[in-house]
Amino acid sequence: MKKSFTILVFASMCISTLAVAQRASRWEIGIQGEYGRDWYHKTYAREIFYEGSITDFSSSRSWGTGIYFEKPLNPKFSMIGQLGYAVKKVHPEIFHTYNNTASQHYLSEVHHRGAVDAGLRWYLNPGSKVRFFAEGKLGANVFISAVQQEQRFGRIVRSDVFGFERVAPVASGSLGLKWSRLTVSAEYRQDLITSKRYDGRTGIDGKGVFGKVGFALLRGK
């Protein structure tokens, strides 16, 4: 009887371990959405900085959508890749050299950006139905265009990045949980360098905090 019980316990452990390993071996592709806020810091060369220049500002709202790919390496670690699109509403003309008179004619400004990043996810309790994780990623933000609403001329679309560098490297860290196909997380992002204008006299760097929800559409071995 004791021997049979030992065999049963051992068999249960093997089945449980196999189930975890099978779950860990499944790649998945899904969709995700995010909502949060960005904060920016603007630097000026000494010869162009003057009273009234805005150096710190934030987006009034930032939202985005995209797709993700996850490929487990083992029960605890996964490779993560993401491709996203984001919309950020900011103060009108904030990326220009400050001009209070001109700014009064702009009613709104919305930036459109793309993003790509990749990294590692670490599951703290890989055998559970609800798995908690931490992850870190490196990637890049890509400025696509800005849409301004001007008082006299109406809608103006700009794709010249206001003279700033179009691509900015970024790092991010997340904490979250995963249950079946659903993933919920909070993410912090930070630009790794200051984006300079073509003349080198002005620069901008940013950071942001976002809540994210993802859902797996495809799964495979």
Provide the residue-wise pLDDT of the chain in tens; the chain has 221 residues: 444 434 343 344 444 433 444 444 589 999 999 999 999 888 877 767 666 667 788 888 899 999 999 999 999 999 999 999 999 998 776 666 545 445 557 778 899 999 999 999 999 999 999 999 999 999 999 999 988 887 788 888 888 888 888 899 999 999 999 999 999 999 999 999 988 888 877 888 899 999 999 999 999 87
Domain count, the chain: 1
pLDDT reported for residue 3: 43
Burial (Cβ within 10 Å: 0-12, 13-18, ≥19) of residue 202: buried
Domain housing 71: 2-220
pLDDT reported for residue 25: 52
CATH of the domain at 90: 2.40.160.20
C-alpha distances in Å from residue 96, one per residue of 20, 99, 162: 54, 8, 7
**Nearest CA among 74, 189, 194, 213 for reference residue 139:** 189
Amino acid letter for position 143: F
